[in-house]
Amino acid sequence: MNRRLAGWLIAGTVILVQFLLEVTLGRILIAPSLLVPLLVYLSISRGDYWSIEGAFWSGFALDLLLQHTPGTSSMAMLLGIALSRWLLQVTTGAVKTTFVAGAITASIFSDLIFILLASSPPGTGFTVFTLMIVPRIVLPILFYLFLPLVFTGRFKEAGA
C-alpha cells in the first residue's frame, strides 16, 4: 500500500476518534488531543508533507465535524507545529527533534492558538480552565510512547 494512503487512513481514523472523544468525553471533562501528536509523528517518520498538508486537511475535516469555524483547527495546528519546530530548532539546534519534545510543544502551541482564534472576542477564552490542556496533552503522549512497547515488546521512540 502506498505510504501516503496508509498515512491518510491512519489520520482519518484518528480524526474520527478525536471527533468522538470531543463530543462525548469533551462535554463532561476534557478530551485528549490525539491528532497533533500523530501529525508530528508522521512528519518525523514520513516527511514534512504531514506537518503542512496533513495538518491543514485534518484540521479542516475536524472543524467541519465539530462545527467550528472552518480553518480554525487547521490554522492552529499549522502554526503550532511550525512554532514548535522553530522553537526546538533555535533552542536545541536540531532540525528533526524527538517525538516527545515535538509533540508536547506542538500540542501546547496548537491548543493555545486554537483558544485564541476560537474565542470571541479573541483572547477571552483564556481562563483558569486553560490549564486543562496539560492532561489533554500529556495522556496521549504517554499512550503514543508506550504503544510500540505493547505491539513489539520493546521501547523505541520515533525519530531516534
Statement: residue 148 has pLDDT above 80 = no
Specify the higher pLDDT residue, 13 or 28: 13
Residues 53-64: what's their mean pLDDT? Answer: 91
Q: Is residue 109 within 8 Å of residue 80, measured between CB atoms? A: yes
Residue 151 grid cell: 505491539
Q: Where are the domains of the chain?
A: 3-152
Residue labelled with grid coordinates 463532561: 28
Do you know the residue count of the chain? 160
Q: Is residue 139 within 8 Å of residue 101, measured between CB atoms? A: no
Statement: residue 156 has pLDDT above 60 = no
Model pLDDT, residue 94 = 65
Q: What pTM does this model have?
A: 0.81
How many CB atoms are located within 10 Å of the residue 69 CB? 11
Residues 108-127: what's their mean pLDDT? Answer: 84
pLDDT band at 5 (very low <50, low <70, confident <90, very high): confident
Q: Is residue 40 within 8 Å of residue 102, measured between CB atoms? A: yes
59-71 confidence digits (pLDDT tens):
999 999 988 888 8
Nearest Cα residue to 43 out of 94, 96, 83, 91 = 96
